[in-house]
Amino acid sequence: MADCPVCLAKKEDEDTLVSTIKTEDGMVVVPKEHVAILEQTPDDVVGAMFVKANLALLQMFETGIQGANLILNNGVTAGQALPHVALQLVERKENDGLFPLWQPKQLPEDAMNQIQEKMTEAIQNTDAPAEDKPKTESKPQTKNEEKKENAFIRRVFRRVP
C-alpha cells in the first residue's frame, strides 16, 4: 500500500514473505504484502512471521537480553496504531519497568466457563486440513476426567505472565 508507513519502511531481504524492522526496543516482523489485520493474513505468512521472529530472538539473546515479549496488537481497539499486521519483539531485562503492560483481571467462574465453551465449539467447527484431523476416535471422557481437564485449563489461563 503506497501510503502505509510499514510498507514504506520494510527492507528487502532474502525472505519473500516477511521482513524485519529494527526498533528502539527490539524488532518488528511484518508481512511484505500489505495486510491490515491477522485474520486477513495467509497461513503461510503467519507461519513465516513466527519463524522469522524465532530467528530474530536468537540473535537478540546473543546481545544479552534476558527475555522478550511478543506482542501482536490486532485491531484499533487492541492498540494497533498502524494499518499493517506487525509482530513486535520487545527486549526485556530484569527490573526494566516495562511490565506489566496490562493488569490481569479475575473473571467469574461462570464467565470463564462460557468463554471455554465458545472457544471449544469454535475450534471444533474449524475446517482443519485432513492431515491435522484425528484419525481415531477417542473414548468419551468420564465426568471426573472432564472436570480435571477443565480445572487444568482454567489454571493455565489464570497464570499471570
Mean pLDDT, the chain, rounded, equals 79
Answer yes or no: do 71 and 21 share one domain: yes
Write out the residue range of the structural domain in which residue 129 sits. 109-158
Q: How many residues does this entry show for the chain?
A: 161
Task: Judge whether residue 146 has pLDDT over 70.
Answer: no
Mean pLDDT of 112-129: 84
Task: Judge whether residue 159 has pLDDT over 50.
Answer: no
Task: Name the grid cell of 109.
Answer: 467462574
| Greater pLDDT, 9 or 48 | 48
Position 137 scores a pLDDT of 57
Let me know: does 89 contact 30? Beta carbons within 8 Å. no
Answer yes or no: do 88 and 15 share one domain: yes
Helices and strands in the chain, H and E counts: 4, 4
Answer yes or no: do 64 and 143 share one domain: no
* 44 pLDDT tier (thresholds 50, 70, 90): very high
The domain boundary residue, chosen from 36, 64, 92: 92
Answer yes or no: do 150 and 86 share one domain: no
Task: Name the grid cell of 85.
Answer: 499486521
Answer yes or no: do 21 and 59 share one domain: yes
| Greater pLDDT, 136 or 114 | 114
Q: What is the pLDDT of residues 46-90, one digit of tens each?
A: 999 999 999 999 999 998 899 999 999 999 998 888 889 999 999
pTM for the full predicted model: 0.63
The domain boundary residue, chosen from 46, 67, 92: 92
- How many structural domains compose the chain? 2
| Residue 97 counted as domain residue | no
| Residue 38 counted as domain residue | yes
Position 40 scores a pLDDT of 92
Let me know: does 42 contact 64? Beta carbons within 8 Å. no
Answer yes or no: do 56 and 131 share one domain: no
85: left (phi over 0), alpha (psi -120 to 50) or beta: beta
Answer yes or no: do 53 and 22 share one domain: yes
* 13 pLDDT tier (thresholds 50, 70, 90): low
**Cα gap 14→31, rounded to integer Å:** 13
Mean pLDDT of 104-123: 88
* 103 pLDDT tier (thresholds 50, 70, 90): confident
| Greater pLDDT, 54 or 154 | 54
**Cα gap 25→90, rounded to integer Å:** 6
